[in-house]
Amino acid sequence: MHRVLDAEVARARAAHPDRPPRVLDVGGGSGAWAVPLATAGCAVTVVDTSPNALAALQRRAREAGVGDLITPVQGDVDALAEVVPTGGADLVLGHGLLEVVDDLPCAVAALTAAAAPGGAVSVLVAGRNAAVLGRVLAGRLAEARALLTDPDGRLGPDDVLRRRLDGSTLCALLESGGSLRIEVLQGDGVLDGWLPGSVIDGGPATARAVAELEEMIAAVPALREVAARLHVLARRSAD
C-alpha cells in the first residue's frame, strides 16, 4: 500500500515539478498518514471533525519539522466543498472513513470532487470477509453469521462501524458516479489475525519475512478478500 501511495506522489511531483504534491487527507485525525507524506515533501491538508485530533496533528507535525507543510481544517466530509477547494488535490485520502460516514454515496462524491482532474483517490476500508473469518476462528459463530448476513456487514445497532465492505462492493461504489476508474485493488493486513503468536514474536528477521510475504499476496484476488482492510486507488477522469 505504501508503495502505491509513494508512486502516486512521484507521479504528482513529475507532473508539477514547480510545487509540492498536494494531498488532502479527509478524516486524517492526528496525522498517521499526513505526517509521513509531509516528511516526503507533500503539502497536506487534513480535514477532521475532532479539534483534539487536529491539535495532536499540529504537535506531531512540529515535532517532525513539517509544521509548515500541514494545514489542519476542522470539517466533515458531508460539507467538504465548504472547507477545501474543489478539484484542488493531486491525491485525496479517505482512509478509515467510508465505514463510519452516514451517507456513503455523498462521501464518495465529495472525495471525488476534491481530486483534481487526473488526480487520485485512495480509500482504505474495513474488510467484511476478514471480520467473518476472525469471528469463526474465535468460536463466535453468532457474530460471524451476523457479519455475513447483514447488508452492511454489521454486528448490530451497537457496532462502532456502520459497514464493512468486500472488494467488488467497494469498487462498484467508487465507480458508480462515473468519474473514477479503479487502478489498484489490494489487501492491507492480509496476514493480520492469521499469524500464530510464535511468528508474530519471531524477531526482526521474521518480521521482514512477514512484510515481504504480505506485499506479495496483497494483490492476489483470493487472498486480498480476507485482508483486514481493503485498499483502492482510483483515478478521476481528466475532464
Residue 130: which H helix or E strand, with range?
A: helix 128-137
Number of domains in the chain: 1
Given a cut of 80, is residue 208 above it in pLDDT? yes
Q: What strands, in cross-sheet order, belong to the sheet with 115-126?
A: 70-74, 43-48, 22-26, 89-95, 115-126, 229-236, 180-188
In a domain, 181, yes or no: yes
In a domain, 62, yes or no: yes
Name the CA radius of gyration of the chain, rounded. 18
Give the mean model confidence (pLDDT) for residues 82-97: 95
Residue 7 — very low, low, confident or very high, per pLDDT cuts 50/70/90? Answer: very high
Q: Residue 113's pLDDT is what?
A: 96
Given a cut of 90, is residue 99 above it in pLDDT? yes
Q: Residue 117's pLDDT is what?
A: 96
In a domain, 232, yes or no: yes
In a domain, 52, yes or no: yes
Q: Which three cell numbers stand for residue 206?
A: 521474521
Give the mean model confidence (pLDDT) for residues 102-114: 95
Given a cut of 90, is residue 201 above it in pLDDT? no
Q: Residue 230's pLDDT is what?
A: 96
- The cell 486507488 sits on which residue? 233
Q: How many residues does the chain have?
A: 239
In a domain, 6, yes or no: yes
Stronger pLDDT, 1 or 167, i.e. the higher one: 167
In a domain, 198, yes or no: no
The CATH number linked to 9 is: 3.40.50.150
Give the mean model confidence (pLDDT) for residues 159-173: 95
Give the mean model confidence (pLDDT) for residues 190-197: 82
Average pLDDT of the chain is 94
Q: Residue 198's pLDDT is what?
A: 76
Residue 199 — very low, low, confident or very high, per pLDDT cuts 50/70/90? Answer: confident
Q: Which domain holds residue 37?
A: 2-127+165-190+228-236
Our measurement of the distance from residue 198's CA atom to the centroid of its chain's CA atoms, rounded to an integer in Å, reads 29
- Cα 66 from Cα 130, distance rounded (Å): 36
Q: Residue 8's pLDDT is what?
A: 97
In a domain, 218, yes or no: no
Q: Determine how β-strand 43-48 pairs with β-strand 229-236.
A: unpaired
Determine the residue type at 109. A
In a domain, 143, yes or no: no
Give the mean model confidence (pLDDT) for residues 150-172: 95
Is the Cα dihedral 57, 170, 149, 227 positive or negative? negative
Given a cut of 90, is residue 203 above it in pLDDT? no
